[in-house]
């Protein structure tokens, strides 16, 4: 690999990391809301700019990172992430603190990832799912961060998404937390959220 092929990271690491984090925090605090995430990254395909920004803002040598099959098939992605974050790329999903999924339709079960332990429920994975858009309002969300109920839609997501989220909610306070990234925005779905069809 030559240096020239490596895509650039943040122009201003400090301020861009901060604004990306604030978007992720707002998204996590208000599940289902599409929080704008503007960034000028041009990561190697199939990694999208929003997901790349989240990883660059949140990951470092302390956070083992797992890539799904589609991203792992592209060595440039791992090289890009490894260079800019210093995070170890792991093959075992259970070992990861962050997991990047480019193909949510084919992603493993949530149970393949670390849900935390009863003593330390924070020792759990954050799944970053790449989506192409937040169109539609197929799901109704309830839980902390939501006043009453809110509508939410995104695609693509696993076909059994509602069942997966229900199983994840049943584990509370254990569970995995989701950040959906794409189309200039990020949506947070923490483990505390209840997702209903319709």
Partner 1 sequence: MNAPLLATGTTSTTGAMPEIRYNFAYLDEQTKRMIRRAILKAIAIPGYQVPFAAREMPMPYGWGTGGVQVTAAVLGPDDVLKVIDQGADDTTNAVAIRGFFEKTARVATTTVTTQATVIQTRHRIPETALSENQILVYQVPIPEPLRFLEPRETETRQLHALAEYGLMHVKLYEDIARHGHIATTYAYPVEVAGRYVMDPSPIPKFDNPKMDDCPALQLFGAGREKRIYAIPPHTRVRSLDFEDHPFKVQRFAKPCALCAATGVYLDEVILDDRGGRMFVCSDTDYCNTRQAQGHVGELGVPGGGFPQNAVMPGRNSGIHDVPPSHPVQDVDPRVKPGDDGISGGTPPAGMTREGTI
Interacting residue ranges for partner 1, rule: CB under 8 A: 13-15, 17-19, 21-22, 24-25, 28-30, 57-60, 62-63, 97, 118-122, 124, 126, 143-147, 172-173, 177, 190-192
CB of 73 to partner 1, least distance (A): 28
What CA–CA distance (Å, rounded) separates 14 from 18? 6
Closer residue to partner 1 in complex, CB, 70/116: 116
Closer residue to partner 1 in complex, CB, 107/146: 146
CB of 129 to partner 1, least distance (A): 15
Neighbours of 164 (CB within 10 A): 19
CB of 81 to partner 1, least distance (A): 14
What CA–CA distance (Å, rounded) separates 10 from 101? 21
CB 176 within 8 A of CB 125: yes
What are residue 140's phi and psi, to 5 degrees? -110, 130
Closer residue to partner 1 in complex, CB, 1/120: 120
CB of 37 to partner 1, least distance (A): 14
Which residues are paired to 89 by β-bridges?
A: 65
What CA–CA distance (Å, rounded) separates 157 from 151? 16
Q: Where are the beta strands (DSSP E) in 75-176?
A: 89-90, 98-101, 126-130, 139-142, 150-152
Closer residue to partner 1 in complex, CB, 14/91: 14
Mention every residue, 6+ apart, whose C-beta is less than 8 A from residue 135: 153, 154, 155
CB of 1 to partner 1, least distance (A): 25
Closer residue to partner 1 in complex, CB, 23/70: 23
């Amino acid at each position: 690999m030559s240096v020239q092929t490596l895509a650039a990271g943040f122009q201003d690491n400090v301020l861009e990391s901060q604004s990306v984090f604030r978007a992720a925090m707002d998204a996590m605090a208000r599940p289902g809301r599409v929080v704008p995430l503007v960034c000028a990254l041009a990561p190697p395909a199939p990694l999208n700019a929003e997901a790349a920004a989240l990883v660059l803002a949140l990951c470092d040598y302390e956070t083992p990172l797992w890539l799904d099959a589609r991203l792992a098939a592209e060595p440039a992605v791992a090289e890009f992430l490894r260079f800019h974050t210093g995070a170890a790329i792991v093959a075992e999903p259970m070992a990861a603190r962050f997991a990047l999924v480019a193909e949510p339709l084919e992603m493993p079960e949530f149970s393949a990832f670390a849900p935390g332990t009863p003593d330390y429920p924070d020792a759990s994975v954050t799944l970053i799912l790449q989506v192409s858009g937040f169109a539609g309002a197929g799901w109704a969300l309830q839980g902390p961060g939501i006043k009453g109920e809110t509508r939410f839609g995104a695609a693509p997501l696993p076909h059994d998404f509602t069942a997966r989220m229900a199983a994840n909610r049943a584990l509370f306070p254990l569970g995995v937390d989701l950040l959906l990234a794409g189309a200039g925005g990020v949506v947070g779905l923490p483990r505390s959220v209840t997702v209903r069809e319709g």
